[in-house]
Amino acid sequence: MNELFEDEYFRVLVKYYEKSLILEDPSDFHPVLSFYFFDALAHIEHTLCTYAINYQAPKNMMHQEYMRWRLDEAKKGDRPLFPDFVKWLKVNHPEKFQKLPTVWRGVYDPDNPASYRSFRIVLDPDSKRPVPAAFFADAIDGFFSREFFNSIYTEGSLGKLFEEYKSTVLA
């Protein structure tokens, strides 16, 4: 078991598990941004677990089932607008785009090769190397920063920009 605790991915996983939303009110997060916030966290956790824990461990198998469910959930309501919203931010609000968490910038920017593959985060589909543990540590910090939290509330800056984008698309 000591080997497990010495694994760099497991240490990042522990860092992730130490995070808390106790000072936040997730029910006030913008509904679409909240969905993609938790979606990204689920992809981060699943990827870390596949690196740190046996791929066929029950935890990883449960992740896969949960992630399959989320594929259908991403098609509901205004959620399908999110990927194009990120592209719109890049063009119309590049300063806001640059402040997005790295996972969102990578996965939803068509100029970036990063993607979700088999529910894992892959930065370069042509590489056989695992994503460095430091990437996940930084990604976690980005999603749990005060500035990011403030932006994803319905009345936060990203929440308002999403509504602005939605009004232009649905007009």
Q: What is the pLDDT of residues 81-92, one digit of tens each?
A: 999 999 999 999
The predicted pLDDT at position 120 comes to 86
74, 80 contact by CB (below 8 A): yes
Query: Is there a domain that residue 133 lies in?
Result: yes
3-class state of residue 125 by DSSP: coil
Beta bridge pairs of residue 115: 122
Distance CA 11, CA 6 (A): 7
Total tally of structural domains belonging to the chain: 1
Answer yes or no: is 11 within a domain: yes
Query: What is the domain extent for residue 53?
Result: 2-15+28-170
Contact 82, 169 (CB under 8 A): no
Summarised one tens digit per residue, pLDDT across range 159-168 is 999 999 999 9
Residue type, 51: Y
Neighbouring CB atoms inside 10 A of 28's CB total 13
pTM of full prediction above 0.75: yes
Encode pLDDT of 39-88 as tens digits: 999 999 999 998 988 778 888 888 888 888 999 999 999 999 999 999 99
- Reply yes or no on whether the pLDDT at 37 is more than 80: yes
Q: Quick check: 64 and 46 in contact, CB under 8 A? A: yes
In a domain? residue 23? no
Is residue 21 assigned to a domain? Answer: no
User: Is residue 20, in this structure, part of any structural domain at all?
Assistant: no
